[in-house]
C-alpha cells in the first residue's frame, strides 16, 4: 500500500510521459503523413472550388444540395458523442468516462471543425458568408431569422465555442502538470502559457469544479439542441421526406449513434498503440457498445415511424418518397442504411461481441458508413423526385465531391495525430483523483 | 457524350490543304477570331454608346448635338419586318441608345398581330453573334469588297456579251417584292441566266393555299403544321384559340399525322399513320365524302359527319411535306364541303413570274459544265441538299462561285468567294404576307461588319445606281405605290410597319408541279425527314438560344434523335438512348434512338439541321446529319429503311426526364359543360392573417387551352432578361437557366397518347416557401406582392430552390454569362442585371416593365391601366395564353379569369397561394367518338 | 533572514486527510491568510479555508438571462422594427422562429460568463506566484498536499507559526521566500 503522494506521482509520470518521454514511433509518423496528404487533397479541392464555383460538384436542379450538406450533418453528428460523454455522463456520475472524455472531446472539436467547413464552401458566393451573421450594416440589412440556416450558424458556432472552452478548461491543470514536468525551457514556456499560472490552490479547485459542473449542465441541452436545429434544415422545408416532425429526436439519436461508432473506431487502435488497455478497459468498450446499441435502436424507431407515417397518413407524396427510397433509382442507399444501422448493430446484444475489439472495430466502421448513407438518403434521395414529375432529376457526386469529403477526413486525422502527441489525451488530474479513490476502496 | 460524325461530302476536304498558305496560318482558330473581335471592340463600343463596359481604350465622345427623340435611358421602338420562309413577320424592335435589344411582334401587322415566334425572338442573338462572318473571303483568305468588285466587274462585262449564258442564281424562298423585281431585272439584263430555288426548311407547297382560321369551325389536318414554324402560324394559333374558347360553339380539330406535331398536340382527335398509309387514307376520305366509297372505320365516319355538318365552316389542310396526291385529296374534300373561297383559298406559287428552276436542274447543269458563274444568295446548299445530288462535288467544278450569307458556312468554304450578308436588323428590305400585305424592313443599327444586303449585292451585279439599300427600297416602293404624296405614305408605312394599301392576293389555280413525289412503298420501315422545330434546316444551328430551347415532345436540346414508337422499338429490339445505324437506299447514318409515344408505327422520324461541320463555335458537330439520308426524288423520306442497334450508349441532353404525370394532376382537363376543376383544398386555412396589398397585386393566368407549346415565351423571356445559355454539357447536368419552361406530359396509353403542354414560370406564392428559408433575405415579397430576388444579397445557399415545390428557381452554378464578347454586351437589356456566378435567379414577372409602367402612370397621376404591363412571355405568346394583370383590380382580365370554373392553382394543397394560376385545358371531343 | 522577506510558511503532507485536518486547526487557531495546494480537488479544504460559496453560479445565471434577452431582442428589433419585410407572408413578429437563436445565445453567454467569471475570481491568468519558490514545489505539487500560512496574517509569527505547523505532523515545513 503506497501513499497517495506516490500514487499521484506514478499516474502523473505515466500520463505526461505519453507526450513528454515516449519517442514518436514509425506508426505515428506514417499515419500523420497519410492524413496530411489527404489534407493537401482538401486544399486542392477547395482551391479549385473557389476558382470555378460550386458547379464543379454534382449538384443541379432539382438536387441543389449534395455532398456538402451530407458531410456537414455526418461530421456534426460524430461530434455529439464527445459532448455526450464528457457532459451528460459527468452529470450522471459515470466515472468510467474520466479516462476517455479528454480524447472524445478532442474528437468533438475536430469533427465540428470539419463540419464547419462545408456550410461555408457550399455557398455560391463563399466570400460573402458574413451576410449570415448579424453585424451593423449601412443598408440596415439583417439575417432572415426565420431561416433554419441562420439557426445553424448560431447553433454550430455556439456548439464549437462551448466545446472548445469546456475542453480547454479541463486541460488547464494538466497543462500545469506538463509545464512542471517538462525538461526543456521552451516547452515549459509553451505549456506555461496554456496553464494560465495554475498552482492547484484549494480555493481555485473549488471554483474550478463548480464552473466545470455548470459547463456540463449547459453543454447537455446544447448538444441536444444542435442536432435538432440541424434537423430543422430539413423538417422546416415542404419537401416530402424532409417535412417531418420526428426529425429532431431521430437526428439526435443518430448523432450519438454515429458519434460512439467513431469513438470506438478511434479508441480501439489508440489503446492498443499506447498500451492503455488498463486505463481504457474492456468495460469501456462494453459500455460504449451498449450506448451504440441503444441509440441504434432509437434510430431504427425513427426509420420505422417515418415509413409508418408515410403509409398511415395516406399522403400520396409521402408514400411515394418511402417507396422511391426502397425501390427507386437510389435503392442501394436505403438498403445500405438499413443493413449497417439496424441489422449489423444487433450483434451487440452479445457481450462476447461487445468486448471483442476487432469485431467492435468492424461494426463501428460499418455504422459510420451506414450513417453517411442515411444522410445521403435524406438529402439527395428526397430531393431528386419531388412534387412535379417534370422537374425530377438525378445526382451523382463528382471527383471534386469525393476529394472534398476525403480531404476533411484527412484534416480530422491530422488534428487527431497532433493532439495525441502534444497534449495529454487522458486527463491527468482527474485520473489522480480517480486512482486515489479507487485505491481507497 | 457521343455525337455521330456529320456526313461530309468528299469534296469538302480541299480547303484544309491550303490551310497553311501564308497569312492564313491559323484562321479557323477560335483564338485569333477572338483577338479580331477585341480589336473591333473599341469601334463597336463607341457605336453602342455607354452601355459597353470595360473599353480597351479610346476616348468617350459626348453627343455634340442630341440626336432627335433620343433620351438616354429611354428605349425607342421601331417597326420593321423579317422575311421568314418567304412570308413577312411584322416586328417591333426595342432600341436602347441605338442598340436593338428586344424583338416583339408588331400589333398593326396582319402577319404577326403583335405576337412573335421563337425564330423572330432568337434573331436578336444572331445579329450579335460573334461567329458571324466579318469580312469577304476569297479562297479562305480575308478580302475586301473592293477586291470582290475588282474580280466581279470584268465577270459582269463577260456576262453581258454572252447574255448571261452560264450564269446561275441559287436563292431561297423570297418574301421581298423588291427582291423579286430586282431578280426580274437581272433576268432581263442577262436573258440566258437561270434562277434556281432551294429551301430545305420552307419547301414550296404542291398546292399553296391560304386558310382563314378565323372562319373555321372544324379543322382536319393531314399532317399539316398549323402552329409550328411556317407561313401564318401566329395568326392561326390565335384564331384557333379564339374558336376553341368560344362559349356557344367551341371549334374542333382533327389531326391525322405521321409524327407528333404541335397541331396534333392540340387536336381533339388524333390518329397516327405512316406516310404511305396517310396517302391512301386521304384518298379514302375524299372518296367517302364524294360517296364513292364507305368510310374505312367508325372514327372516319364520325369525322366525315362532323365535317359535313359544317359545310363552308370546315377546312381540310394538307401538310407542306405531303405529296401532291394528298393535297389533291384535301382540295377535293374542301370542294365537296364548299370550303374553297370561304375558309381556304388556293394561291399561285410564290414568284411564279420568275420561272424558277429546281435544284436538280442546277446540279445537272453544273456537272455538264454549263455553269461558269454561280451566285448563291443565302442558304447552304453544300450542307442542306439531298445527298444523291452531291452538290459539293458539282460546286468544285465551277470556276466562279460566290456565296452571300450571314455565316461563313460549309458552302462559303467551298465557294471561290464568300460575301458577308447584313443581318435584317442592319439592312433595308421589304416583305409581304400571304395576304399580300407589304411592309418595310428598316434597319435598327449600322452593319456591325462590312456587310451588304442581298438588294445591294444585286444592284451591284446589275451595275445600278442607287446602290444603298435605303435608296433601292425607296425607289422600288415609289414605283410600286405611285401615290401623289409618296413622302407621307412612305413615312406612315415606316412608322406603322405595314403599308396602308395592301395589295390583295389573287386566288388562282393550283400549280401542278410537285417537288415531293409519292413515297414509293418499299419493304421495311419508313423514313420521315422534317426540319427541326427550332434550328430548321440548320440555318439556326449557330443560334445558342434555339439550340438550348427544349424541342417539342422530347424536351431535347443541342441534338437530334431517331424518333421511334414504343411498339416498333420493341419489335426491332431498340433501346432508348442507344446508338443505332439507319440504312436507307445504300446510305447509312448513326443516330441515337428516342422512343416517342405518339409516333406512327414502323416509322422513324429524324430531324434535319444537325451534324453541321462548319456552323461556327456553337453549332458545329452536334447531332447527326439527316441530309445524309435525303434523296432528291423523295425529299421528306420514304420506305425501305433499316435500323440496327449499335448497342453504344448515348446520354441525351434533355430538360425533362419524366414523361408522364405519375398520377398527379399538374395539368387538368375539362370538356365543355364541366363545372369546376378546383379541388376542395383550394381554400386551405392558414394560421397567419393574409397580407394586405392596397396597391396593385400582380398576378398571371395561363390558359392551357390556348397554349400550343411553341416555347416562344421561353425565348422571349431569355431575350428580355439576359438569361445565359449553359451549353450541352451543363444541360446534361440539369442546369438549364430558362425562367419559364414548358413542361410536356404524355397522357393515356403510349400507343395513342394525349400531349399536354404547361408553361411554368415562378408562381409568386403569397406564402412563398423559398422566402421563408433564405438566410439572408435575398428573396422577399415587395409591396405589390411580387416574390423578388435581390441578386447582390444572395449568397447562394440554394435552399430556396430545394424548398420550391415548382422548382422554377435557377442557379448560376458556374459563370454562365459571357461578359467577354463585346458584341454580346451590346445585346443586353440595360434594365436587367447580368447575374454573376453563385447567385439564384428566377422569373420576376418582368419587374423592369412593371416599374416602367408605374413611373409613367405616376407621371400622368393615374393608376396603371389593365394590360399596360405585359411581361415578355405574355407579349410573345402567339395564342394569347398568358394573361397578366392586377388581381386587386375588379375590372381586370386576370380577375375575371380567376373566377372561371376552369381556374385552378398548381399544388394548391400546399397552401402556397400562387399568384400564377392556370385555366384547365379544354377539350372538345366529338361525342360520337368520345 | 528576516520575517518580512517571507511570503509565508508552508507545510507539506503526503495524504489529503492530514492536510484537511491541519487546515481546520489553522483556521480554528485564528489564521485567516492561508491557502492549500493540492494535486486534485479535495472536498472540504476550501470550506476549511473559510470559503463560503464560489460565486460562479450567480454569474452564470446573470449572463444566461442577458444572452437570452439580447438574442430575442435583436431578432424582434431587426425583423419587426428596424427593417420590416414581408417574408413568405409570415408575420413580422414570428416568435416561434425566434426561439432557437434565443436559446443558443442563452447558452453561449452563460458558458463564456462562467469560464471568464471563474478565471477572474481565481485571479488567473497570473504570471508567477511566490509559492512556486517553495523548495521542490514544482516537482511535488502534482503529488503532495500543502498548507501555506502567509506572513501577511496578523497572527503570523515566524517561530510560533512554525511550531504550530510542526504540530500537524507534516512531512516537511518550508519557508516560502517572498
Give the integer Cα–Cα distance in Å for A164 and A104: 12
CB-count exposure of residue B493 (10 Å: 0-12, 13-18, 19+): buried
Give the integer Cα–Cα distance in Å for A359 and C2: 69
Residue A394: list chain B partners with CB under 8 A.
657, 734
CB of B128 closer than 8 Å to CB of B618? no
In terms of CA atoms, which chain B residue is nearest residue C87? B780
Q: Do B813 and A143 touch (CB under 8 A)?
A: no
Would you state the pLDDT for residue B2? Answer: 45
Residue C38: list chain A partners with CB under 8 A.
200, 202, 205
Give the integer Cα–Cα distance in Å for C16 and C11: 12
Residue pointed to by grid coordinates 384535301: B330
CB of C101 closer than 8 Å to CB of A151? yes
Give the integer Cα–Cα distance in Å for A397 and A58: 5
Give the integer Cα–Cα distance in Å for B875 and B854: 18
| Paired residues of B589 in beta bridges | B582
Query: Which grid coordinates are listed for A322?
Result: 418511402
Q: Do C40 and A436 touch (CB under 8 A)?
A: yes
Would you state the pLDDT for residue B61? Answer: 57
pLDDT in tens, B157-211: 999 999 999 999 999 988 899 999 999 999 999 999 999 999 999 888 888 888 8
Across B675-695, average pLDDT: 74
CB pairs under 8 A between B and C: 35
Q: Do B777 and A65 touch (CB under 8 A)?
A: no
Q: Do B780 and C89 touch (CB under 8 A)?
A: no
Is the pLDDT at B831 greater than 90? The verdict is yes
Is the pLDDT at C3 greater than 70? The verdict is no
Is the pLDDT at A374 greater than 60? The verdict is yes
Would you state the pLDDT for residue A112? Answer: 93
Does residue B776 sit in helix, strand or coil?
Answer: coil
pLDDT in tens, B262-311: 999 999 999 999 999 999 999 999 999 988 888 888 999 999 999 999 99
Q: Do B691 and C86 touch (CB under 8 A)?
A: yes
CA B387 to chain centre: 25
CB-nearest partner of C90 from B765, B770, B772: B772
Query: Which grid coordinates are listed for B237?
Result: 394559333
Residue pointed to by grid coordinates 446561275: B168
Distance from CA of B23 to the nearest CA of A (A): 37
Q: Do C105 and A154 touch (CB under 8 A)?
A: yes
Give the residue ranges of DSSP H helices in chain C: 16-28, 45-48, 56-76, 95-121, 137-140, 158-167
**CA neighbor of B127 nearest in space, from B402, B380, B407, B381:** B407
Write a three-state SS string for B200-248: CCCCCCCCCEEECHHHCCEEEEECCCCCCCCCCHHHHHHHHHHHHHCCC
Would you state the pLDDT for residue B25? Answer: 39
- Does any CB of chain C come closer than 8 Å to the CB of residue A245? no
CA dihedral sign, ordered A406, A410, A411, A412: positive
pLDDT in tens, A89-138: 888 888 888 888 889 999 999 999 999 999 999 999 999 999 999 998 88
Residue pointed to by grid coordinates 503506497: A2
The residue among C78, C89, C90, C97 with the most chain B CBs within 10 A of its CB, best to mutate, is C89
Q: Do B688 and C87 touch (CB under 8 A)?
A: no
Is the pLDDT at B36 greater than 90? The verdict is no
Length of chain B as a residue count:
930
Q: Do B657 and A394 touch (CB under 8 A)?
A: yes
Give the residue ranges of DSSP H helices in B255-323: 262-266, 275-290, 298-309
CA B45 to chain centre: 30
pLDDT in tens, C112-136: 999 999 999 999 898 888 888 888 8
pTM reported for the whole predicted model = 0.90
Would you state the pLDDT for residue B347? Answer: 82
Residue A240: list chain B partners with CB under 8 A.
none
Q: Do C87 and B767 touch (CB under 8 A)?
A: no
CB-nearest partner of C89 from B691, B774, B777: B691
Give the integer Cα–Cα distance in Å for C46 and C35: 9
Would you state the pLDDT for residue B98? Answer: 87
Distance from CA of B912 to the nearest CA of A (A): 10
- Does any CB of chain A come closer than 8 Å to the CB of residue B10? no
Give the integer Cα–Cα distance in Å for B598 and B564: 9
pLDDT in tens, B105-152: 999 888 888 899 999 999 999 999 999 999 999 998 999 999 999 999
- Considering just the CA atoms, what is the radius of gyration of chain A in Å? 23
pLDDT in tens, A51-95: 999 999 999 989 999 999 999 999 999 998 888 888 888 888 888
Distance from CA of B391 to the nearest CA of A (A): 44
Confidence of residue C4 (pLDDT cuts 50, 70, 90): low
CB-nearest partner of C88 from B689, B690, B769: B769
B contact chains, 3+ CB pairs < 8 A: A, C
Is the pLDDT at B482 greater than 50? The verdict is yes
Confidence of residue B94 (pLDDT cuts 50, 70, 90): very high
Amino acid at each position: 500500500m503506497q501513499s497517495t503522494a506516490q500514487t499521484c506521482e506514478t499516474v502523473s509520470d505515466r500520463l505526461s510521459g505519453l507526450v513528454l518521454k515516449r519517442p514518436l514511433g514509425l506508426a505515428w509518423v506514417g499515419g500523420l503523413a497519410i492524413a496530411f496528404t489527404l489534407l493537401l487533397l482538401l486544399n486542392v479541392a477547395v482551391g479549385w472550388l473557389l476558382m470555378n464555383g460550386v458547379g464543379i460538384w454534382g449538384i443541379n436542379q432539382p438536387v441543389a444540395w449534395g455532398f456538402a450538406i451530407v458531410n456537414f450533418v455526418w461530421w456534426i453528428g460524430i461530434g455529439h458523442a464527445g459532448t455526450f460523454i464528457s457532459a451528460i455522463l459527468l452529470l450522471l456520475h459515470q466515472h468510467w468516462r474520466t479516462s476517455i472524455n479528454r480524447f472524445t472531446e478532442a474528437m468533438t472539436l475536430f469533427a465540428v471543425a470539419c463540419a464547419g467547413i462545408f456550410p461555408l464552401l457550399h455557398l455560391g458566393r463563399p466570400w460573402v458568408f458574413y451576410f449570415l451573421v448579424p453585424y451593423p450594416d449601412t443598408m440596415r440589412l439583417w439575417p432572415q431569422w426565420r431561416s433554419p440556416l441562420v439557426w445553424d450558424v448560431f447553433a454550430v458556432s455556439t456548439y464549437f465555442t462551448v466545446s472548445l472552452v469546456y475542453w480547454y478548461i479541463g486541460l488547464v491543470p494538466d497543462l500545469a502538470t506538463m509545464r512542471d514536468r517538462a525538461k526543456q525551457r521552451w516547452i515549459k514556456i509553451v505549456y506555461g502559457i496554456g496553464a494560465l499560472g495554475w498552482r492547484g490552490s484549494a480555493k481555485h479547485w473549488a471554483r474550478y469544479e463548480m464552473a466545470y459542473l455548470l459547463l456540463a449542465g449547459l453543454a447537455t441541452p446544447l448538444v441536444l439542441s444542435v442536432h435538432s436545429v440541424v434537423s430543422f434544415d430539413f423538417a422546416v422545408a415542404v419537401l416530402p421526406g424532409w417535412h417531418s416532425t420526428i426529425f429532431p429526436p431521430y437526428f439526435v439519436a443518430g448523432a450519438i449513434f454515429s458519434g460512439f461508432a467513431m469513438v470506438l473506431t478511434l479508441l480501439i487502435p489508440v489503446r492498443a498503440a499506447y498500451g492503455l488497455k488498463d486505463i481504457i478497459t474492456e468495460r469501456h468498450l462494453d459500455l460504449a457498445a451498449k450506448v451504440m446499441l441503444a441509440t441504434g435502436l432509437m434510430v431504427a424507431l425513427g426509420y420505422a415511424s417515418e415509413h409508418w407515417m408515410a403509409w398511415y397518413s395516406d399522403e400520396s407524396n409521402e408514400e411515394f418518397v418511402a417507396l422511391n427510397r426502397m425501390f427507386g433509382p437510389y435503392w442501394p442507399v436505403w438498403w445500405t442504411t438499413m443493413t449497417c444501422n439496424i441489422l449489423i448493430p444487433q450483434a451487440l446484444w452479445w457481450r462476447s461481441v461487445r468486448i471483442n475489439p476487432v469485431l467492435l472495430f468492424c461494426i463501428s466502421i460499418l455504422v459510420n458508413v451506414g450513417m453517411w448513407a442515411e444522410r445521403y438518403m435524406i438529402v439527395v434521395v428526397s430531393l431528386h423526385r419531388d412534387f412535379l414529375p417534370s422537374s425530377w432529376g438525378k445526382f451523382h457526386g463528382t471527383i471534386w465531391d469525393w476529394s472534398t469529403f476525403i480531404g476533411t477526413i484527412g484534416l480530422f486525422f491530422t488534428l487527431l495525430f497532433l493532439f495525441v502527441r502534444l497534449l495529454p489525451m487522458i486527463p491527468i488530474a482527474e485520473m489522480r483523483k480517480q486512482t486515489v479513490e479507487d485505491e481507497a476502496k | 457524350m457521343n455525337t455521330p460524325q456529320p456526313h461530309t461530302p468528299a469534296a469538302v476536304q480541299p480547303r484544309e490543304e491550303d490551310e497553311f498558305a501564308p497569312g492564313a496560318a491559323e484562321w479557323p482558330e477560335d483564338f485569333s477570331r477572338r483577338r479580331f473581335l477585341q480589336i473591333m471592340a473599341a469601334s463597336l463600343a463607341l457605336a453602342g454608346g455607354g452601355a459597353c463596359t470595360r473599353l480597351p481604350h479610346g476616348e468617350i465622345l459626348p453627343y455634340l448635338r442630341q440626336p432627335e427623340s433620343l433620351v438616354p435611358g429611354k428605349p425607342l421602338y421601331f417597326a420593321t419586318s423579317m422575311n421568314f420562309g418567304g412570308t413577312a413577320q411584322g416586328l417591333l424592335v426595342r432600341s436602347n441608345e441605338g442598340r436593338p435589344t428586344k424583338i416583339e411582334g408588331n400589333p398593326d401587322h396582319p402577319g404577326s398581330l403583335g405576337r412573335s415566334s421563337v425564330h423572330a425572338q432568337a434573331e436578336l442573338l444572331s445579329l450579335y453573334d460573334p461567329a458571324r462572318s466579318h469580312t469577304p473571303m476569297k479562297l479562305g483568305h480575308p478580302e475586301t469588297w473592293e477586291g470582290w468588285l475588282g474580280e466581279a466587274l470584268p465577270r459582269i462585262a463577260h456576262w453581258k456579251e454572252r447574255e448571261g449564258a452560264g450564269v446561275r442564281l441559287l436563292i431561297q424562298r423570297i418574301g421581298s417584292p423588291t427582291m423579286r423585281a430586282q431578280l426580274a431585272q437581272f433576268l432581263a439584263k442577262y436573258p440566258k441566266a437561270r434562277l434556281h430555288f432551294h429551301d430545305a426548311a420552307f419547301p414550296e407547297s404542291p398546292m399553296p393555299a391560304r386558310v382563314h382560321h378565323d372562319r373555321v369551325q372544324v379543322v382536319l389536318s393531314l399532317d399539316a403544321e398549323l402552329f409550328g414554324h411556317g407561313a401564318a402560324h401566329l395568326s392561326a394559333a390565335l384564331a384557333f384559340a379564339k374558336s376553341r374558347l368560344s362559349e356557344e360553339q367551341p371549334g374542333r380539330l382533327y389531326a391525322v399525322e405521321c409524327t407528333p406535331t404541335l397541331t396534333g398536340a392540340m387536336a381533339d382527335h388524333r390518329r397516327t399513320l405512316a406516310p404511305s398509309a396517310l396517302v391512301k387514307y386521304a384518298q379514302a376520305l375524299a372518296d367517302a365524302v364524294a360517296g364513292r366509297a364507305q368510310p374505312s372505320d367508325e372514327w372516319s365516319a364520325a369525322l366525315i359527319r362532323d365535317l359535313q355538318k359544317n359545310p363552308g365552316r370546315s377546312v381540310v389542310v394538307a401538310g407542306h411535306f405531303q405529296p401532291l396526291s394528298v393535297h389533291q385529296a384535301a382540295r377535293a374534300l374542301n370542294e365537296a364541303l364548299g370550303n374553297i373561297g370561304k375558309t381556304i383559298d388556293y394561291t399561285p406559287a410564290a414568284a411564279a413570274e420568275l420561272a424558277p428552276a429546281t435544284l436538280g436542274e442546277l446540279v445537272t447543269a453544273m456537272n455538264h459544265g454549263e455553269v461558269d458563274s454561280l451566285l448563291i444568295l443565302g442558304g447552304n446548299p453544300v450542307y442542306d441538299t439531298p445527298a444523291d445530288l452531291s452538290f459539293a462535288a458539282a460546286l468544285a467544278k465551277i470556276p466562279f462561285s460566290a456565296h452571300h450569307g450571314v455565316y461563313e458556312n460549309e458552302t462559303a468554304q467551298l465557294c471561290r468567294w464568300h460575301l458577308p450578308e447584313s443581318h435584317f436588323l442592319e439592312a433595308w428590305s421589304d416583305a409581304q404576307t400571304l395576304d399580300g400585305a407589304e411592309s418595310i424592313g428598316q434597319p435598327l443599327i449600322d452593319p456591325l461588319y462590312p456587310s451588304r444586303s442581298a438588294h445591294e449585292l444585286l444592284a451591284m451585279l446589275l451595275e445600278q445606281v442607287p446602290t444603298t439599300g435605303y435608296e433601292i427600297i425607296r425607289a422600288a416602293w415609289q414605283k410600286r405605290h405611285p401615290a401623289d404624296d409618296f413622302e407621307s405614305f412612305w413615312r406612315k408605312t415606316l412608322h406603322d410597319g405595314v403599308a396602308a394599301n395592301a395589295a390583295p392576293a389573287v386566288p388562282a389555280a393550283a400549280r401542278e408541279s410537285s417537288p415531293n413525289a409519292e413515297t414509293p412503298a418499299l419493304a421495311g420501315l419508313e423514313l420521315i425527314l422534317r426540319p427541326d422545330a427550332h434550328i430548321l434546316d440548320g440555318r439556326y444551328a449557330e443560334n445558342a438560344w434555339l439550340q438550348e430551347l427544349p424541342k417539342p415532345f422530347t424536351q431535347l436540346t443541342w441534338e437530334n434523335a431517331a424518333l421511334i414508337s414504343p411498339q416498333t422499338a420493341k419489335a426491332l429490339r431498340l433501346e432508348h438512348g442507344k446508338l443505332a445505324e439507319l440504312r436507307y437506299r445504300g446510305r447509312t447514318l448513326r443516330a441515337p434512338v428516342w422512343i416517342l409515344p405518339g409516333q406512327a408505327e414502323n416509322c422513324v422520324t429524324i430531324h434535319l439541321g444537325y451534324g453541321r461541320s462548319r456552323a461556327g463555335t456553337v453549332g458545329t458537330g452536334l447531332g447527326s446529319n439527316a441530309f445524309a439520308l435525303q434523296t432528291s426524288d423523295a425529299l421528306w423520306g420514304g420506305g425501305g429503311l433499316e435500323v440496327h442497334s449499335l448497342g453504344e450508349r448515348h446520354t441525351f441532353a434533355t430538360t425533362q426526364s419524366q414523361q408522364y404525370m405519375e398520377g398527379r394532376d399538374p395539368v387538368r382537363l375539362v370538356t365543355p359543360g364541366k363545372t369546376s376543376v378546383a379541388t376542395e383544398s383550394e381554400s386551405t386555412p392558414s394560421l397567419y392573417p393574409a397580407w394586405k396589398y392596397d396597391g396593385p397585386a400582380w398576378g398571371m393566368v395561363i390558359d392551357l387551352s390556348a397554349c400550343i407549346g411553341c416555347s416562344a415565351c421561353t425565348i422571349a423571356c431569355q431575350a428580355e432578361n439576359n438569361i445565359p445559355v449553359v451549353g450541352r454539357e451543363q444541360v446534361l447536368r440539369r442546369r438549364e437557366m430558362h425562367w419559364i419552361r414548358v413542361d410536356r406530359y404524355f397522357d393515356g396509353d403510349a400507343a395513342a397518347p394525349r400531349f399536354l403542354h404547361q408553361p411554368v414560370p415562378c408562381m409568386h406564392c403569397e406564402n412563398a416557401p423559398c422566402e421563408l428559408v433564405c438566410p439572408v433575405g435575398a428573396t422577399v415579397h415587395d409591396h405589390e406582392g411580387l416574390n423578388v430576388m435581390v441578386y447582390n444579397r444572395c449568397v447562394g445557399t440554394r435552399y430556396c430552390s430545394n424548398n420550391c415545390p415548382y422548382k422554377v428557381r435557377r442557379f448560376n452554378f458556374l459563370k454562365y454569362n459571357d461578359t467577354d464578347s463585346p458584341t454580346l454586351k451590346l445585346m443586353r437589356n440595360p434594365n436587367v442585371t447580368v447575374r454573376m456566378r453563385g447567385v439564384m435567379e428566377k422569373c420576376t414577372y418582368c419587374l423592369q416593365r412593371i416599374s416602367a409602367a408605374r413611373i409613367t402612370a405616376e407621371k400622368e397621376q393615374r393608376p396603371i391601366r389593365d394590360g399596360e404591363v405585359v411581361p415578355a412571355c405574355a407579349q410573345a405568346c402567339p395564342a394569347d395564353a398568358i394573361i397578366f394583370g392586377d388581381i386587386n383590380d375588379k375590372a381586370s382580365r386576370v380577375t375575371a379569369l380567376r373566377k372561371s370554373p376552369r381556374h385552378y392553382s398548381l399544388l394548391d394543397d400546399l397552401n402556397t397561394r400562387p399568384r400564377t394560376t392556370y385555366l384547365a385545358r379544354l377539350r372538345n371531343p366529338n361525342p360520337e367518338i368520345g | 533572514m528576516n520575517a518580512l522577506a517571507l511570503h509565508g510558511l508552508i507545510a507539506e503532507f503526503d495524504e489529503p486527510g492530514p492536510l484537511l485536518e491541519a487546515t481546520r486547526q489553522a483556521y480554528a487557531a485564528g489564521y485567516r491568510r492561508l491557502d492549500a495546494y493540492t494535486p486534485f480537488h479535495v472536498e472540504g479544504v476550501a470550506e476549511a479555508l473559510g470559503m463560503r460559496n464560489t460565486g460562479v453560479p450567480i454569474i452564470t445565471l446573470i449572463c444566461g438571462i442577458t444572452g437570452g434577452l439580447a438574442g430575442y431582442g435583436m431578432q424582434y428589433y431587426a425583423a419587426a422594427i428596424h427593417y420590416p419585410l414581408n417574408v413568405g407572408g409570415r408575420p413580422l413578429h414570428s416568435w416561434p422562429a425566434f426561439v432557437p437563436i434565443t436559446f443558443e445565445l442563452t447558452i453561449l453567454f452563460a458558458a463564456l460568463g462562467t469560464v471568464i467569471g471563474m478565471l477572474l475570481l481565481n485571479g488567473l491568468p497570473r504570471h508567477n506566484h511566490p509559492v512556486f519558490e517553495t523548495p521542490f514545489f514544482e516537482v511535488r505539487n502534482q503529488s503532495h498536499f500543502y498548507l501555506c500560512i502567509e506572513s501577511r496574517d496578523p497572527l503570523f509569527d515566524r517561530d510560533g507559526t512554525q511550531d504550530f505547523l510542526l504540530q500537524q505532523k507534516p512531512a516537511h515545513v518550508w519557508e516560502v521566500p517572498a
